[in-house]
């Protein structure tokens, strides 16, 4: 899944930055009958324009026709400063807007497994729950 998320980021990510900031997401979901897989890449063609995060692109595909159970979400990208919390981690977690959407929009269970991995081969991987990420970033209820 990590390799697929990387391929998605590199093939489909769009970044305004001279050194492109690419993010990929791979989701495994269960719809009651089958395991389904959904992909997303980030889209931010202009510095001050709207952005579409890889996580929300993949989630919107997953929830387009049904409300599946999200089994695992893999997110790959370079670590950057979290705008909401001001924290810089060793991996790239979902941004504040994504975290809010995951919790209040898509109502993902707090125990949902989130795997954070680097865009390139070498680097730290983290295996966290959505609750771990909320706790780390100090998101308020």
- Interface ranges with Zn ion (CB under 5 A): 53, 95, 98
Question: Measured from the CB atom, is 74 or 98 closer to Zn ion?
Answer: 98
State the nearest-atom distance from the C-beta of 110 to Zn ion, in Å: 18
> Least separation, in Å, of the C-beta of 104 and Zn ion?
14
| Cβ proximity to Zn ion, 29 vs 56, nearer residue | 56
Q: Pairing mode, if any, of strands 69-76 and 43-44?
A: unpaired
Find all residues with CB under 8 Å of 77, minimum gap 6, and list them: 9, 21, 22, 23, 24, 42, 54, 92, 118, 119
| Residue 97 phi, psi dihedral angles, 5° rounding | -65, -40
Rank residues 4 and 51 by Cβ distance to Zn ion and give the closer one: 51
Q: How far is the CB of 55 from Zn ion (least distance, A)?
A: 6
Shorter beta-carbon distance to Zn ion: residue 56 or 122:
56
State the minimum distance, in angstroms, from the CB of residue 47 to Zn ion: 16
Shortest-Cβ-distance residue relative to Zn ion: 53
């Amino acid at each position: 899944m990590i390799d697929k998320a990387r391929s998605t980021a590199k093939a489909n990510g769009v970044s305004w930055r001279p050194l492109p900031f690419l993010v990929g997401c791979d989701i495994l979901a269960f719809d009651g009958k089958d395991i389904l897989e959904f992909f997303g890449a980030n889209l931010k063609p202009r510095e001050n324009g709207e952005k579409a995060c890889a996580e929300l692109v993949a989630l919107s595909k997953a929830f387009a026709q049904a409300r599946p159970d999200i089994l695992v979400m893999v997110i790959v990208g370079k670590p950057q400063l979290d705008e909401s919390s001001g924290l810089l981690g060793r991996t790239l977690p979902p941004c504040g807007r994504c975290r809010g959407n995951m919790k209040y929009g898509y109502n993902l269970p707090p125990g949902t497994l989130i795997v954070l991995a680097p865009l390139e081969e070498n680097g730290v991987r983290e295996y966290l729950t959505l609750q771990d990420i909320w706790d780390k970033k100090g998101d308020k209820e």
